[in-house]
Amino acid sequence: MTTTQVRKDTTALKHVKTKRLFELVKSAECTPVLAVEWPKLVTPDMSGEYPGKYGKFSVSFIVNPDDETGKAFIAKLEAAHAVCEKAVRQWASATGNKVEVYRGFELRDQTRGKGEDKKPTGLKVLYFKQDAAREKDDVVLPTPILVTDSAGNKLGATTLNRISNGSKMRAAFEAYPYLVSGIGGMSLRIRKLQLVELVEYGQDIDDAEYFDEEVTGFVLSKNDADAESDGEYDNDDDDTNGDF
């Protein structure tokens, strides 16, 4: 883990504004390679309680709290959370502010089913989201999540639309503290996603289980193969390169 320790004593922190606090203690982190579900990386998600004006791009990572990889990653998040809490409390003490509530950090439970049949699976979910756009000088600027393949090549909308539940990815992200109206905690900001293993929609369907006989018909030729054009997806945020 590359967590940056609190670099300011309470005297120095007295002159730091809250919006700059995270810059002093933010940490650069990386998830292990994990399966993902419900990736929304092309069309913004307008559901949820606070989708914002332009919606959110998002992806959920599935963490097994009982295997060694999951345990190590959860320990990493808990360590970052402790650093953030220390920074918030030091800053509040130095500036005379109160920390009425410091929110604990917990991964969500993965669930299956609906209504009364909704039950936890025993796995945990780490949910990342990012505003799909921002406004600057009356211009709406799209803010897609940068996604690359394992070699560092940017992926475009054609490929991103193929990513389904069960695909394996890892994320570069930052953990930083916040304190708003007496409520403190740790926020996670995604910086980059890396696609390690692609699982497409329907890829897990066994034809033999559904089709009882073979038929002769349309076969896609090499000349007619769907050409992939990823030029429509771009992200000029080059400072995220090298996060892995």
Q: What is the mean pLDDT of residues 92-107?
A: 88
Query: In the structure, what pLDDT confidence band is assigned to residue 12 with cuts at 50, 70 and 90?
Result: low
Question: Which of the listed CATH numbers 3.40.50.300, 1.10.287.90, 2.40.50.140, 2.60.40.10 matches domain 10-240?
Answer: 2.40.50.140
Task: Please check whether residue 98 is in contact with residue 92, taking contact to mean a CB–CB distance below 8 angstroms.
Answer: yes
Q: What is the pLDDT of residue 229?
A: 46
Q: What is the mean pLDDT of residues 18-39?
A: 81
Q: What is the mean pLDDT of residues 44-54?
A: 85
- Look at 10 and 166; give whichever has higher pLDDT: 166
Q: What is the mean pLDDT of residues 103-132?
A: 92
